[in-house]
């Protein structure tokens, strides 16, 4: 049998689904472990859209800072995670059914990807270009991290889903709900890991104290002239 699920995982929000410990112990007694499933994890990149309509104040409220306490630009990212899976159902040893995943496919993509340069720089070509170049470094790093991390996440899936084989339910519908819960947990754990990685690496590689100092100097210090209070 085959199911497809849109998990709708956002980097800013995770909803965890709890398993059922009592059913797990019952599964151990009633359901022998099946063969491990095949796992697939894909990542589909997409170019960002542009939105230069928001102000420095608007962007600064979203938390990414580029000069002092101001955000001159922003790269807005949300990931989506969809999933489909095949499974087999067999009678359990003492009533009910056992379910085993056969193939599990996760698909990562960008649900939202927008590059902003604050509207105050519409008529500041030098600063606009510098800020846009900075934000495009964020875009490139996101693609690099997700591409590089994909194989590691794929290798971790068997451990994340070790309990997804031999799931017991009183019927196929209940067993499938339990399987889906575990598959969702694993997918959302991947998104949480990517969120933490993205925050750490963008801070380490791009949004550094040195970069803040550099932005204050480019274009003959023009940003300091426009925002002296932030210097």
Domain around 90: 2-230
Give every CB contact of residue 22 below 8 A, 6+ residues apart in sequence: none
Domain count, the chain: 1
Phi and psi torsions of 82, nearest 5°: -115, 165
Q: Which residue in 1, 225, 223, 32 sits closest to 117, CA to CA? A: 223
Q: How far apart are CA 141 and CA 125, in angstroms?
A: 24
What pLDDT is attached to residue 95?
Answer: 86
Angle of the 125-160 helix axis to the 209-226 helix axis, nearest 10:
150
pLDDT at residue 166 in the model: 82
The conformational region for residue 59 under phi > 0 = left, psi -120 to 50 = alpha, else beta, is alpha
How far apart (Å, rounded) are the C-alpha atoms in residues 157 and 64? 32
Reading the block at residue 102, the tokens are 């056969």
Whether residue 82 contacts residue 7, with contact meaning beta carbons closer than 8 Å, is answered with: yes
d(CA 189, CA 219): 43
> Which residues in the chain show pLDDT less than 70?
1-29, 63-67, 163, 230-231
Give the pLDDT confidence of 149-202 residue by residue, as tens digits.
999 999 999 888 876 778 899 999 999 999 999 999 999 999 999 999 999 999
Take residue 89 and report the two structure tokens written for it: 């159902």
**Angle, nearest 10°, between helix axes 125-160 and 172-205?**
140
* CB environment 68-97: b (16+ within 10 A), e (fewer): bebbbbbbbbebbbbbbbebebeebeeebb
In this prediction the pTM is: 0.80
pLDDT of residue 160: 86
Task: Label residue 125 exposed, middle or buried (CB < 10 Å: 0-12, 13-18, 19+).
Answer: exposed
């Amino acid at each position: 049998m085959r199911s497809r699920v849109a998990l709708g995982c956002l980097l800013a929000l995770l909803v965890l689904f709890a398993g059922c410990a009592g059913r797990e112990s019952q599964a151990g007694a009633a359901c022998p472990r099946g063969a491990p499933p095949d796992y697939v994890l894909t990542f589909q990149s997409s170019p960002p859209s542009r939105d230069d309509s928001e102000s420095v104040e608007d962007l600064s409220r979203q938390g990414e800072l580029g000069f002092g306490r101001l955000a001159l630009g922003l790269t807005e990212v949300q990931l989506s995670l969809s999933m489909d899976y095949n499974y087999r159902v067999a009678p359990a040893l003492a009533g009910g059914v056992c379910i085993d995943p056969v193939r599990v496919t996760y698909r990562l993509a960008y649900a939202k990807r927008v590059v902003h340069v604050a509207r105050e720089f519409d008529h500041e070509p030098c600063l606009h270009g510098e800020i846009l170049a900075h934000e495009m470094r964020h875009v490139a790093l996101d693609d690099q991290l997700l591409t590089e991390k994909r194989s590691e996440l794929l290798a971790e899936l068997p451990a994340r889903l070790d309990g997804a084989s031999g799931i017991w339910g009183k019927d196929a519908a209940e067993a499938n709900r339990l399987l889906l819960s575990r598959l969702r947990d694993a997918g959302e754990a991947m998104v949480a890991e990517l969120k933490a990685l993205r925050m750490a690496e963008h801070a380490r590689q791009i949004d550094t104290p040195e970069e803040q100092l550099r932005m204050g100097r480019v274009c003959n210090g023009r940003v300091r002239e426009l925002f002296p209070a932030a210097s």
